[in-house]
Chain A
């Protein structure tokens, strides 16, 4: 094995083991930032030693043991300085004597709990959303700072700073390394789900871009979601989020045309949908629904995505079912955007007049004033109702509002088609 091969193998080991090692260390040293530094020290030691000595049989245990030794050394150095550290050091040493050889046993017993604690700490509300995202990708996703920076189109020093500051904030706020309990749990869990879905959407929005680091975020988010689903198997919304991401990801091959143009759901070639991910998504949704209770926003959105996924052709879509699901979403989190989506489903289920009636109640909505999809949808309904002059005006308005060049061309084409189909005023 050449040293490049060894380095790449170490990268792979790191990717597989780092979250578990950091989580295990954080329980011992009670500081996520310190835990990560110790784990990084162990990684540096591996990079120095493994090319010479070869990769050990159990690389995860080696990294963990090395990191624990570093922790003990550090506490020894500090123990005259700080009493608290001395206590911790002694405790650590006691653990060390028993703990290192049974790394795997320790993982089996506690690692789930440790990982879950790490998830909650990384997504702690004391941190900004950006910091939560960066820390989650770094500590749980095993991404390097450089990879995170590339994925979020941010300069590397900015992301590095963000991570350093996040770790310091956690330390200064003395955020305990624990899983929240009782009423806290629901709010904290929804913060975790939000972070994971944000990562997913960042990747999903970038599918047309030139850098595949960004779409890879979808896979990172899915992996995090799947991990979380096994850590808290009784939370229906976690399965709801996983279902939503699996089904959305199933369309990634079909949603961009050969020249990078976005292809809307109903125009997609459904044979390009990834049936494996659809099956996984439907299974996750099933798990969410079997757990019962009121369906949360992710389970509802997943159920809508599932209606599309189950339909072999757009005509087979259960639009009435989608209308009902959007009504449930609107009750849970009322928003003009949800209403606009419901209007589209209404029109598909019961005709353009039904959709138009709802959309007309939204035209004075301030939050939609500059939103191009409102006139675009309204134009489509008007077009289908044969009110071509009004439709043309709406498409033109939508074209003036969108920032996407390809979308603008599409909308102007539709406006043109309206003009062409109308009887022209005056003599020719």
Chain B
């Protein structure tokens, strides 16, 4: 089963402490060694982002930043795992690092399953 982890938090909270970055790098290396993390990336701030929206038959293009959003996606990772519980366990470890190394930080990791062939071709 494939899962996407979306890490969300408020923007403009300053740079994360080096200890956190080191700990995350270590966790990423472990996940890579465990053969479970197949992609990851950090996203540029929403001030550099653009939204293309369709609504009532109209296309509109809006440049960021978007002040109405309290928490935005700042990074993602894609994992191949056996169960959602395994994904939850991984997300807990990731968030635990934030708790330890950046106590003021608030945010969340959202775990979304990416559908695979088994979700499309359910056999009779």
Contacts and interface: CB of A to CB of B under 8 A. Distances in A.
Given A9-B88, A227-B35, A276-B39, A219 B117 contact: no
A253 interface: yes
B83 A12 contact: yes
Interface string A50-82: 000000000000000000000000000000000
Nearest to A219: B80
Contacts of A215: 117-118
Given A222-B35, A223-B36, 13 more contacts: A8-B83, A8-B85, A9-B89, A11-B83, A12-B83, A15-B83, A16-B34, A209-B123, A216-B82, A230-B35, A258-B121, A260-B121, A276-B39
Interface residues of A, number: 32
B80 A222 contact: yes
Interface size class of B (residues with CB under 8 A): 20 to 34
A256 interface: yes
Interface string B87-124: 01110000000000000000000000000111001011
Nearest to A8: B85
A366 to B, nearest CB: 39
Nearest to A280: B38
Given A256-B121, A276-B78, A12 B89 contact: yes
B85 A9 contact: yes
Interface in B47-92: 78, 80-83, 85-86, 88-90
Interface of B: 32-36, 38-39, 78, 80-83, 85-86, 88-90, 116-118, 121, 123-124
Interface in A221-270: 222-227, 230-231, 252-253, 256, 258, 260
Contacts of B38: 276-277, 280
Contacts of B35: 222-227, 230
A277 B90 CA distance: 21
A223 B32 CA distance: 10
A212 interface: yes
Contacts of A212: 118
User: DSSP majority for the B interface?
Assistant: mixed
Top 4 A-B residue pairs of the complex, sorted by shortest distance between their CB atoms: A226-B35, A12-B85, A223-B35, A210-B123
A1 to B, nearest CB: 11
A16 B86 contact: yes
Contacts of B36: 223
B86 A12 contact: yes
A253 B78 CA distance: 18
17 contacts: A8-B83, A15-B81, A15-B82, A210-B124, A212-B118, A223-B34, A223-B80, A224-B35, A226-B35, A227-B34, A227-B35, A230-B33, A230-B35, A253-B116, A256-B121, A260-B123, A276-B78
B91 to A, nearest CB: 11
Contacts of A8: 83, 85
A13 interface: yes
B66 to A, nearest CB: 28
Given A219-B80, A223-B80, A276-B39, A13 B89 contact: yes
Interface in A270-307: 276-277, 280
Contacts of B78: 276
A238 B39 CA distance: 20
A107 B85 CA distance: 23
B118 A227 contact: no
Contacts of A142: 82
